Structure 1
Amino acid sequence: MEFLYTYDSLRLEFPLTEPEKARFVIIGVPFDGTTSYKAGARFGPTLIRHATLNLESYILDYDIDLTEVPIADIGDIAVVAGDPRRTADRVRETLEELKMKNPGAVPVLLGGEHSQTLGAVEALRPKSYVVFDAHLDLRDSYEDNPYSHACVARRISELGVEEAMFGIRSGTREEVNYAEEKGIRWVHARDYSFDAFVDLVETLPEPVYLSVDIDVFDLSLVPSTGTPEAGGLDFWDVVRAVEWLTENKRVAGLDIMEVAGERLGDPTALTAAKLLFYSIGAMARK
C-alpha cells in the first residue's frame, strides 16, 4: 500500500504487517515548526522508534507479544517546514487515505509537535478528545499563529469535540476562562487521581481520540521536550488511565507527541517508547 505524503524512514524493527491488514498503523510526524522553547521535536519519531530496540516485545502485564499483533509502520509524514497548518493537512489526508483502505485500523502518531494532532482529529472525527498534557493549549493564537502547538486544543474544541484534560499545570487566565465558557473539563496535576480520570471520562461520547503530550510526565522522566514543566505525573498514572480507556471506550486513534532530544537513548524517548508498547498492548487485549 502506497501513501501520499510519506517518505522512507526508520521503522520498528520487529515483524510488521502490511498497512491494509494491520490493526495498528504507526505514522511519524517529524515537525517542530512552532516550538517556543526547546527545539528538536522533529527528531521525535526516530528517537522513539530507536528506543524500542531497548524493549522486549513481550508485555508481562498483558501476556501479549507485540510481534504477534498486526502492526504496520508506514514511516514519516513529509512535513512542510515551518507550516503547521499545511503539515496538519498532510496528516489529515494520510489518515483519510488509511481509513479508506483499512477502516478498522487504529492510527498511532509519533511526534513531533503537538500542533499536528489537529490533522488526526480532523481525519478521524472523534466525539471526544482525551489529552494528557502539562499545558491547556487553548490559546486562540500564539506568536501570531493560530495553528501553534499552544493552540491545538482550542482548534479541536472548535470542531465540536468534547474535551477532557489531565496533568495540567500551566495556562493563561484567557485559557482558563475559555475552558469554563466551553465546558472543557480539566484536572490539575496536583489533583490528579485515577478516580478523577474515570469520573470525567466515563460519560464522554465515543469514539475517543487519545493524545499524550510527553511533557505531562514528571520532568525527571522527560528532560527533552519542547516546553518542559516540573511537577508532572508518574508513568504508571498514565498507563493505568490508558488501560481503563481502551477497555471501556472505543479509541479511534492515539498519539504520543512532543518527544525531542539530540541523542539516541534519551530518557524522554525511552519513556515514550515504553508508553507506545503499553498503549498498543492495552488495546490489543481487547
Structure 2
Amino acid sequence: MTDPLDALGQVPPAVAYVLVAVVVLTESILLVGAFVPTLTLLLTAGALSRAGDLDLFLVIAVAACAVVAGDCLGHRTGRVLGERLRAGRLARRVPDAAWRRAEHLMERRGGQAVFVSRFVPVVRTVTPHVAGATRLPYRRIAPYSAVAAVLWAGAEAGAGYAAAPALERVLVFGGPLLAAVLAAGAGIAFVWVRLRRRRRGGPPGRGGAPPPGGPPEGDGPQDQPPSQAPGNAAPHAPSPRTSHPGGAHRDPPGLPAPVPGRRRGRPGAGPRFRRRCTARRTPRSAEWA
C-alpha cells in the first residue's frame, strides 16, 4: 500500500468523496492545477472501490461533477481576466491578428478543444481559461465538457479498480503511461473524426462541398465582370430601346410593337382621339346647317 492509498483509506467514505471532489476541482485553478495529482487520486479511489471501501460509480459521478464545475469556473475566470490578460505586458507582444485567430479557432473548434484537452495533463487546466478569454459562450463547450468528464473519470477510476492488486507498481510506472495512452487515444479520435468529415464532404460553408442546388463554380461575384458584380452596377440604366447608325431606333425583342398613329407615352393619341377633338371644335351652328 502506498501513502495516498493509506491516507484516502483511513478517512470515512463521505470524507473520501469530498476529498475527491475538492482535489479534482482544485485542478481547474490556473497555475495551481498543474501540480494536483488527480490521476493518483482517482487510481487510488478506484482501488478502494474494489476493496469495498468506496462505490466506484459514486466516485466517477463525484469526479465528473467536479470536472464540469471546474471547467465552468475556469471559463468564468478567463472571461473576467480576458481583458487584463490582453492588456498585460506579455500579451502586448502578441499581435491583434493572433488574438483574432485564437477567437476564430475557439469559435469553430472550442468544444472539441475542451474535449481533447481533458485527457492531456496541464492543457486541460488552460483550455477553459482560453475559451473564456476569447469570449466563447459557455453553452458551446458545456456538452463537450460533460461527456469528457464522464469518460475521463471512468477511465482513470476504472483503471485503478482493474489494477488494484498491483496498484503500487501502477502508481510508479503505469500512471504516466496511462496518461500518455489516454492522450494518444483522444488525439487519434480527433483525427479520425476530422478525416471522416472530409470524406463526407464536410458541413456546408466550412470548406466542404457546396449544398445541392448551389451556384456552380465561376458564377460567384468574384468571377463576374466589374460591370455585372453586385454593388458595381452603372448609375444610370441604359434605355430599353437600342440605337443604330443613321439615327433609327429599334425596340429590343420581346416588347410589343407600337400602334400606328400613336406616340409612345401619350395614351389616346391615335386617329380616334384626333377625330373626337375635331368634332368638339366644330361650331354648334354648323351642325344644324
Q: TM-score, normalised by structure 2?
A: 0.24
More strand by share: 1
Whose RCO is larger (CA < 8 A, sep 6+)?
A: 1
Larger radius of gyration: 2
Q: TM-score, normalised by structure 1?
A: 0.24
More helix by share: 2
